[in-house]
Structures are given as C-alpha cells and as structure tokens.
Structure 1
C-alpha cells in the first residue's frame, strides 16, 4: 500500500466534519478511489461504495431522487454492505457521471448525519461547472495529485526521519548528511523517470523494469486522450485540446519554455483557444505557470494570463512522452544533456502539490525567474531551477534581489548541490523542493 499525505486530511475530516461531506478531487489515476477505500476499511465497520460508471442503475436511481429520503433509499437499494448508524462510510465514486449528487449531498448530511459521506471523481473541474449549485458549507474538499517526491521516497522504504534531516539542514543552513544526500539524489533521478502516478510507482518499486513502467504510463496517457474525446463539448474542441496536450513536451523543450499559442495553428491567438487550454487545467492534467508584470506581492494582481508555461501534472508522463532516448540518458546520468524542462516540470508539480500558486517573471531589464511564489508573510520568493554544473550563475536572480522596489529578501536556487548559503541566495538540492510548503 502506498502511503499518501491526503490520508491525514481524511482523518482530520472524520474527527471534525460536523454535517459536512468530503469531496476528493484530482486528475484521473492519481489514487483517489484507492485512498478512500483504505480510509474506509481502516476507520469504519461498514463501507458502502457506489461507482456511477460501473453501476448505471444506481446512477439513474440517484438522479431520479427528489429529496433526501428518496436519495438515501436509492443508495440503500444498491448498497453492497450494511448501513449502520455511526459505523458506516458511504462512498459515491465517479460522480462526474452523476453530477447532481454534488448538489443533493447537503440534504443527505442534514437529515442522515449518523453516516459519513465521501464523494470522488475525475474531471470534476470540467464536469461540475454545469451543476446548479455546489453546496457551500456542506462539502469539504481535498485535491489529490500524483505522489510527490517525499511520498515516492516512502514507497521506496525511506523512513520519515530522513526528511526530518533535510528540513533541519535547511533551517540550520548546513549541508545535509552525505549518505542522506546521495540516497535522495539517486531517488530523485529515478523519480524523473517514474513520476508519481500510483500504478506506475507500485509497478516500478516491485519490478524495476522500465519497459513495464512505460506500459503503465502510456496507458494513462491514452486514457487522458480518451477523456479529451469523451468529455469535450465538440469534435473541434477535442481536436484542439489533444493538439495542445501533445505539444506540451516540445514546447517545454524551447529555450524559454513558454507555450506559443501559434504552435496550435497558423495565426492562432490565446483569446480564441482559452477554453481549450483551461480544459486541460481544469481536468488536472496540465499545470499553467503564469507570467507576472512585476514580482511583487500579491502576485495575482500582476498576472498576465495570456503568457504562460504549460507543464504536465506528472513528471513521469512527461519523460515517457519525450521518448526512450531521454530515459536512457537519465539512467546513464549524462552530464552533457540539458534537463531544464524536466527539472522545471518536477518543481512546478511539487510546488502545486504543496499549496503554491505558480508564477514566473520575465522582462528585458532583469531577465527570467523560473518561479516566483508567495510567502505567507506577504513577501515574494524567487526560485531558480538549475540542472547543470553552472548553477552559481544566475544574473536574473541577482538583479531581482538587488531591485529594492520588489522587496525580495532572499532567493532559492534548486540544483545538483548540497545546502549552502552565499549572501542572499540559498542553494538547495533540487529534491529539497519537497521541503517547501505553503
């Protein structure tokens, strides 16, 4: 069983929810269903699960319900376990096929508060837009992502106290223990190939077979492409969304990594294809990093939504789409290859999973900062990502830190290095992005 951080959020909800259901959201294949099942088995005497893809009759019965009693009657009619007050979790899965249940859930938690209700599904950012009213005040939510690097290390048997050493070293501005550093660096290079999709991770941990791993990853990519065809509103939109999705690896391979909308088609403009880009974002399969005019708090006021980099939500899927040659180069630790796009993708993925909104900054006077993120205390932290040995060269970061108007006190460089501090810059091993948390 893969250990997931989201489990602690479910446990907290169980103890404190008070007439609230839980919605577990996230892209397809990130482990939502497995997590809820494990949570149910460990914490309830009875678990009733209805899957609205597998059980069309249950879906129709729930859709036909007019009130809470009708809805609970429909659930009880198709329940595969006993419904016992105070001892039962009701798990409604794949609710994108039964969208009105998200609206009706408030009636259930109001009138049947002796039961706990968890909802889950994929593409909810896309599909729930058409729901009349998601019940604010009756529904808590968790967004799940692929396994982050720390979770990947847990899957490989790394104990939690290893990351305690990482946190302490960063806090104390000293080098991480050499044995720990070498172990985590090796696992990070492996993570660039495997990524964090649970099925792929479980397969690789058991077999360490790259060919088998790629079968799992290619199946996930194929399923995402099928979703695009199934859930987009028209054949035209499906074609454009798939084109954008397939372009992500090559666009990231460009020098500035910014997605050029003209790559979608001759004369294309963002305003015309905005919905298609947002579909991928709402589906959870792509991560946009928006440009800001100035790296000043709050960043959202300076956002330029028509200028962005577009990363995949999982680094393993990106590496798979880049081809087997890239995988071989990573395995051979080739130092003459520029892995910049891969490193930036994994950093974007980690920052997003840890609660950060994603921005970057670029102008002619300063240059480009790979990421700028908000610190909870109302300041902005610039982050540079370096995959090569020349990681101490960062003129844009130096200029930004020297610009008094930006109010930046310190900057971070994530690189193939141990922890060290020079002036206003903290150099951290790239895997230490796992220690940054909003």
Structure 2
C-alpha cells in the first residue's frame, strides 16, 4: 500500500476538524482513494457522492434554497439513515458543482454532519473553489508522490531514510553502497514518476511497458480536459503542453513562445499558462532579476521555465530504448531536464516559491529559493563535471548579493567547500525550511501609554 504524506492532514481533520475539508490537486493523483482509505481505516460512517459519476446530483442540489432544504435532499439521495454527529459526507469531484463550496458555510454552521471534499484543479474552476468563506473550510493541496514517498513505496526502509536525513543535516558523506543504491532508486523515479497508478503498477509488476500505458492514459485524460477549455476559452493548452519536452531539452530551458506561434506576445497567452498551472499540470519557475531577498519583488513573469507536474509524464514522451538507457546511466543521455524537473516538483511540494536567475555577464542559476530567511542558489548537475559551475562562482563573488551558501545537487556524495554544499541529487527530498519553534512576538511599548492629565 502506498503511503502518502497528505494522509496525516486528512487524519488530523478527521480527529478534530469542525470545519469542512477540501483535498485538491491535479487529476489522477489519488485524492479519492486517500480519503476513502482514511475513512475506512478509522471506521467512520460516511456517504460518498460523486458529481461526475452522478451528474443528476447537480440539478437536485442546485434547486435547494437553504441548508435545511439541501440536507433534506441529501437524505433522500443517500437512501440510508444518516447519523447526525457521526456520518461524514464525502463530496467528490466538486469542480463539477462549484456552488457547493459557497454553501459550505451554511452547512457547517447547521452542524448536523461534517463535510470532506475532493476536487481536481481544472484551471478557471480553481478560483471559485477557493472562494469559500474563511474559517469554514480548510484546503490541502496534494501532489504526485515526491521522491521520499516513492522510495518508501519501492521498499526503502524508514531507518535508511532517517539515516540519510541525518547525513543531510549534519553534512556527513553517505556510505558508498547506500549512495549507489539510492541513485538507482532515483533513476527509477525518473522513469516511473509519482502518479500513484504508475507507481502501484510498477510495484506489482515491475513492468515498464505497463507503466508506460498508465502514463499514456493519464496524458490522454489531461488532453481531453484541455479540449473542453480550448474551445470555450480559445486557449492553446495542447500546443503548450506538447512543446514542453522539446523546450526542456534545450540548453536554455526558458520557454520560448515562438514554439507555439511565431511573433506571439506573452500577454496573448498568459491565461493559457495560468490555466495549466492552476490545473496542477505544469510547474512554472519564474525569472528573478537579482538573487536577493525578497525574491518576489525581483520576479519577472514574462520569463519562465515550464516543468511537468510529474517527471514520469515527461519521460513518457521518450522512447522505451531511451528509458532503458536512462536506467543504465548511459552517459550519452543528457538527464539535465529530468533532474531539474524532479527538483521543481520537490520545491513545489515543500511550499518553496521557486525562481531561476539569468544574467549575460554572470550566467544562469538553475534555481533560487528562500531558505531559512536567505536567498539560496541551487545548481542541478547531471554529469561528472558537477564541480564546474562558473555562473555560481560569479554570483558567490558578487558582494551585492551577499549569498552565504549554495547547494549543488548531482550524483556526487556530500561535500562542503567553503560556501558550496555538494549533495546527492536524491537529497533534494530533505530541502525544507527550518520550522520555527516560537512564533510569538510581544511588542514592548513601555512609556508609550497614556500621558495622563499632568501635561
């Protein structure tokens, strides 16, 4: 059974949540399965309603004038007794009936039941899904399996992962045997990726051809979604998506608008890119004019790299022979795009706002993030010459940037050289901001109270 990190958030809500809960994310990442699993494991009585499989529900519920009437219709549809204070209502695929989100406040206030929901991020629908009244619904974003989840799924022990995390934190080189095996797991992740059905298929069969069939099915499903919106909103979603593998294979991975239409301006297609981002299908990494805090002030949204939401969907565009060559670590294959795609995924799931920096004078940094209150460059190297990084050297020498540390992720082992911290590529799974133990701040305004009547 594949264990997901999102499970703890769902279980925590089941234990003490009084508000509604929305688990959201791209299609096919296991949201419905996870909610069912948590409800069954904890033996909660629940009613599941799916607005795609049961479209008639939309008409039934949309006619309700208030919470009382909606609950009456809910009881009739259930066909069974709903226990007040016990039964949990699971509303699936709610993007098909966005109005349910606006009614959540009244259903929560009424208090008869608790409500957990799942919704896919289908572009323009997302804004409406997130417009529920504050305080009545919590939202948790779910993603494909990260590398740590994948490693667990294929059999890497928790004790090994804890050992690796300790090495990461204390910057202790990893045992050579463990290091080699973890690189094998990482290269397998490049092919399988983190879509739950693909991972489950591999775990059960070890058959890469069957995994490829899963990837093809998911991409067909995505493109079917694209077609619904391309016609309605005159978007170029398919053209952008199909152009991405070629764009990422270039030395300069910045997305070139000319690849979809010559002479086109960003303003004309900005909504297309936003749709794909909001749908959880792509990950944009925007340019910053300087690698200095706050990074968001230096952001340039007209320049960006565009990564796949899952590295397995990227490699599904490759031939089977190329996939085997990747697994065999064939040096003739350039894995730079795949390595960077994994890093983009990991940074997103950990809540980092990710950027890249490019300067004609200094060169390009693959990623720049804010880590523990500092701007930190990340260089991603897939070859043996991972200690050659002229752009990073230039940036570290620039006193204006005041960069105290940079990470280089590669196939090499852990090593520290002045401001340069070399880490194995799989260690990206541990690049988190340090959690603050104390966020209480008390303002001292002694002497600024009332002046009294003596003045």
Q: What's the TM-score bracket when you normalise by the shorter of the two chains?
A: over 0.9
Contact 2:126 2:279 in 1 (8 A): no
- Give the gaps of 5 or more residues in structure 2: 434-455
- More helix as a share of residues: 1
Equivalent residue for 1:167?
165
Equivalent residue for 1:365?
361
Q: TM (normalized to structure 1)?
A: 0.95
Shift of 1:131: 6.4
Equivalent residue for 2:447?
none
In 1, Cα distance between equivalents of 2:335 and 2:27: 27
Shift of 1:44: 3.8
Distance 1:346 1:128, change over 3 A: closer
Equivalent residue for 2:340?
344
Contact 1:50 1:78 in 2 (8 A): no
Equivalent residue for 1:188?
186
1:304-319 equivalences in 2 (<5 Å):
304-319=300-315
Shift of 1:306: 0.4
Equivalent residue for 1:407?
402
**Matched residue of 2:408: which SS?**
strand
Distance 1:171 1:37, change over 3 A: same
**Could you tell which deviates more after superposition, 288-297 or 79-88?**
79-88
Contact 1:46 1:81 in 2 (8 A): no
Compare CA radii of gyration and give the structure with the larger one.
2
Equivalent residue for 1:422?
417
Contact 1:44 1:88 in 2 (8 A): no
**Matched residue of 2:8: which SS?**
helix
Distance 1:395 1:132, change over 3 A: closer
Residue-by-residue CA offset, 1:166-188 (whole Å, 9 max, x unaligned): 11112221112333322211110
In 1, Cα distance between equivalents of 2:126 and 2:275: 12
In 2, Cα distance between equivalents of 1:220 and 1:83: 36
Residue-by-residue CA offset, 1:217-250 (whole Å, 9 max, x unaligned): 000000000001123452732xx11100110000
Equivalent residue for 1:256?
252
Distance 1:79 1:254, change over 3 A: same
Equivalent residue for 2:234?
236
> What is the aligned residue count?
433
Equivalent residue for 2:443?
none
**Could you tell which deviates more after superposition, 292-301 or 74-83?**
74-83
Shift of 1:322: 2.8
**Could you tell which deviates more after superposition, 224-233 or 195-204?**
224-233
**Matched residue of 1:406: which SS?**
coil
Contact 1:85 1:115 in 2 (8 A): yes
Equivalent residue for 2:198?
200
Distance 1:151 1:82, change over 3 A: farther
Structure 1 position 393 matched with structure 2 position 391: no
